[in-house]
Amino acid sequence: MHMQKTNGLIRHLIFSAVCAATVISFPPSSIGANNPTESWTVGRGEANGKPIFVRINMAVKPGDPKYQVRAVYAINFLHPTRDGRPEKDETAKANEVEDQLNQLISQKDLGKFVAVQTHDGVRKFLFYVESEKVAHDAENALKVPKEYNVNLTVASDPSWMVYGKIRSEHERVHAKK
């Protein structure tokens, strides 16, 4: 999917400003490879002259009452390319963080992994989880190289507003093709 510049900016604003969301792992690592409850699709946009890559799990239906807390995990790249993407080594590190989060949350049925965004030297992973405790426990259990920090933003979002906006924007743009 290729989005227009305006759509990329909207997605960036929705994802970054509205929720300070976490979206990462690009290209997809092991996520969704053998999981029938996941169906990932990729979108690309632009904001502030830099590309935005978003991966969305389209198999997840917004608003699952079991998971009312939005958890966004963000990792800053130490050596991003000029357009804000990670280099090969940092992509591997981000993929490791994604895999760990998936194991700590999704595979334990403590939440749903719904989106990943890479933009301007940051990768964000968006989950909906059972509680703030689940989000913080996963953050504390992460094994990340000491030069990297993973920042967590947690907010109540029982209607899955952020995921719903990202998904509907993707569907709107995709329907035009």
Classify residue 24 as exposed, middle or buried by CB count within 10 Å of its CB (0-12, 13-18, 19+): buried
Residue 37's pLDDT is what? 66
The reported pTM is 0.79
Report, as ranges of residue numbers, the positions in the chain whose pLDDT lies below 70: 1-37, 176-177
pLDDT of residue 41: 92
Tell me: the pLDDT tens digits for 82-126? Answer: 888 899 889 999 999 999 999 999 999 999 999 999 999 999 999
Structure tokens that stand for 13 in this block: 């604003």
Could you tell me the two tokens for 57?
């799990």
Cα separation of 141 and 89, whole Å?
22
- Residue given tokens 């999917």 in the structure block: 1
* Residue 21 pLDDT: 33
